[in-house]
Structure 1
Amino acid sequence: MKHFVIVAVLVLIVTVGVSAALGSIPLLPIQASAQAVPIDHLFGLHVKVISFLFALIVVFLLYSVVVFRRRPGDTGEGDHFEGHTGLEIIWTLAPLATVLYFSYLGAQALAETRRVDPQAMEVKVIASQWSWRFEYPEYGVTSTTLNLPLNRQVLLKLTSTDVIHSFWVPEFRVKQDALPGANMARDLRITPTLLGEYKVRCAELCGLSHAYMESPVVVMEAAAFDSWISGQAGAVPESPAERGKKWAAQFGCAGCHSIDGSVVVGPSWKGLYGKQETLADGTTVPVDDAYLLESIHEPGAKIVKGFQPIMPSLASQMTDEQITDVIAYIKSLK
């Protein structure tokens, strides 16, 4: 009995020490949403249980090695025992009860992250290789930066134009996949609670430039958000080329096409208009309005030599006027 008491005290001391040590380390990013609160609470409980299990194993092991080691001159055999039914029942039922309890806590935390606010603002999140686009249907605004008002729940409607992506802002904790296909929109609720600038990242491997699929997320005061919305209403430039630059950013064109001559995933737009482009089949075509229009509507019709046919069709997402503006923008990049 003496050994069990000593071990129990040592396990308690090591558990507290390990738990305190892990608690002093910033294992998680800052907490910036209401949904992060139950998740972080559950994470903290897991750390405490992990600390206890670590102490239980290590203390019993080291105590046995030190206290029950064979001493000089000791040639006897240790006590023989075959088992302990009561102990076996305990170490079967105790982990089962712990797992069931944490399942209950997990269900509670999940319910908290999905709590519905009837006044939530809807934002449509469109993911593409390799960019994000955010539409605010209530205001008729589209942006490549996700601007959110402080302390107001936001209902994100996530979709994808090509492959599976995953919306993840580490400071918000929650994440959700964006799936391609009709009627495949997924919901994610976020209530920002901390002013600041963050980044949304894609958490699903989605191709060559997956690592660079990021967009800014800005949490601002309600008044600042309203001011931003008002400013966006008249933010469409008069010049077709300038409008095309805006649409190119919104629809993720910059994720594949550079404007400085460097090769990313697709051909650079710098000096593209008017040149002779060599195709994969060895033929050449002039880069004119008709070629660019066809490339946007049917990207696989003419593949440039040295590049893969991975560009999605944007014809269903862009208006004819927007496509015309993008072509004007490409023409301006001499």
Structure 2
Amino acid sequence: MRHFVIVGVLVVLVAVLTYAGLNSIGLMPVEASAQSVPIDWLWNLDVRVISFLFALIVVPITYSLIAFRRRKGDTTDAEHIEGNTPLEITWTVVPLIVVLIFAYLGAYTLAEIRVVDPSAAEIKVRAIQWAWSFQYPEGFTSKELHLPVNKQVVLKMESSDVIHSFWVPEFRIKQDVVPGRITEYRVTPILVGSYMARCAELCGASHAYMQAPVIVSSQADYDAWIASQKALAAAAAQTPAGRGEQLANTIGCRGCHTIDGSKLVGPSWQGLYGSPVTLSDGTTITANDAYLIESIANPSIKIVKGFETTTAMPKFDLTDAQIQDLVAYLATLK
């Protein structure tokens, strides 16, 4: 009986210390959505049960190795134990019950985070190697996702190339984005702040760069941002350069090309128009209209030196007018 008491006390102590240690690490970021609350509750329950099971297995084994080790001078054979049917039934039935309970809790939590709000606003999301674009109901596109706090939003997501996965760690939910089909992502932000959406599915050489800002704001600030973007979009649509900028954001050009001179997947667009460009074969040409039009329509014909090993730029089904708009936009990036 003494051994059972000691082991019991040690199991409780190790379980508490294990849970406290795991909890102190801060495995989860802040809860920023209504969906994150039940997910974190289930996660914490998992960690508590796992901590107890860890202690229940490790402590008796470790204690037995120490307390019942062969003593010096002991040459007797150990007692052979054939089995213990009640014990074997117990350690089969009890884990089965625990698994079934967690299966029920998991299904209940999944149903809870998928509750549909009929009044939820709808934002279209397009994924492309290696960028996100967000089209709002008001008719404009942005490379940032803006959401109102305490309002459910449904993201209708589609991929232009390979499988991606939309993930905001603070929201807890992750949803695959698949070519040829539309997937839904429902979220109700509950905490004002700035976050980062990431691609959580390996999608190519620049997978790590596939991020997008997520801004949760008050309803008033959200409405003001929507109004300002509508005005900017309306004004931009009146000029070729403005239309080109909108198109670049829509089809994900900024996922590979920066406008501040920094190097990403492809050459920066800053100061590109009219400047000399060294190609992979050593020749130098001027980035004029003809070169830019050719490079947009057939990206693999003339590769810029230093970018030979990067993933090839995909071809876009663009009209001549759209290509001209893109060139006009590039001409403004001095």
Superposition TM-score, scaled by structure 1 size: 0.87
What is aligned with 1:151?
A: 150
Note the 1:72-151 alignment, pairs <5 A. 72-137=72-137, 139-151=138-150
Measured in 2, the distance between the counterparts of 1:269 and 1:20 equals: 51
Tell me by how many angstroms 1:313 deviates: 3.2
What is aligned with 1:64?
A: 64
1:313 alignment partner AA: K
**Unaligned stretches of 5+ in structure 2?**
none
1:173 alignment partner AA: R
Q: 1:208 to 1:98 in 2, by over 3 A?
A: same
1:60 alignment partner AA: P
Measured in 2, the distance between the counterparts of 1:286 and 1:17 equals: 66
Tell me by how many angstroms 1:22 deviates: 2.3
Q: 1:87 to 1:254 in 2, by over 3 A?
A: same
Question: Could you report, residue by residue, the CA deviation over 1:145-182 in whole angstroms, capped at 9, with x for unpaired residues?
Answer: 1000001111111111111111000000001111122x
What is aligned with 1:312?
A: 314
What is aligned with 1:191?
A: 188
Tell me by how many angstroms 1:211 deviates: 1.0
What is aligned with 1:233?
A: 230
What is aligned with 1:30?
A: 30
Question: Could you report, residue by residue, the CA deviation over 1:200-220 in whole angstroms, capped at 9, with x for unpaired residues?
Answer: 011111122211111110111
Question: Could you report, residue by residue, the CA deviation over 1:13-68 in whole angstroms, capped at 9, with x for unpaired residues?
Answer: 32223223322331100011111112111111111121112111221022212321
Identity rate, percent = 57
Equivalent residues of 1:257, 1:266 under 8 A apart? yes
What is aligned with 1:324?
A: 324
Equivalent residues of 1:303, 1:309 under 8 A apart? no
Superposition TM-score, scaled by structure 2 size: 0.87
Q: 1:303 to 1:25 in 2, by over 3 A?
A: same
Q: 1:12 to 1:305 in 2, by over 3 A?
A: closer
Equivalent residues of 2:120, 2:153 under 8 A apart? yes
DSSP 3-state at the match of 1:230: helix
DSSP 3-state at the match of 2:133: strand
DSSP 3-state at the match of 1:235: helix
Equivalent residues of 2:32, 2:191 under 8 A apart? yes
What is aligned with 1:168?
A: 167
Measured in 2, the distance between the counterparts of 1:223 and 1:272 equals: 39
DSSP 3-state at the match of 2:25: coil
Question: Could you report, residue by residue, the CA deviation over 1:78-103 in whole angstroms, capped at 9, with x for unpaired residues?
Answer: 32211111111111122222112211
**Unaligned stretches of 5+ in structure 1?**
none
Tell me by how many angstroms 1:108 deviates: 1.1
1:67 alignment partner AA: A
1:100 alignment partner AA: L
Tell me by how many angstroms 1:140 deviates: 1.4
Equivalent residues of 1:164, 1:180 under 8 A apart? yes
Measured in 2, the distance between the counterparts of 1:74 and 1:274 equals: 91
Give RMSD over aligned pairs.
2.7
What is aligned with 2:207?
A: 210
1:171 alignment partner AA: E
Q: 1:206 to 1:242 in 2, by over 3 A?
A: same
Equivalent residues of 1:277, 1:304 under 8 A apart? no
Measured in 2, the distance between the counterparts of 1:226 and 1:65 equals: 67
Equivalent residues of 2:244, 2:326 under 8 A apart? yes
Q: Which moved more, 1:266-275 or 1:82-91?
A: 266-275
What is aligned with 1:54?
A: 54
2:196 alignment partner AA: K
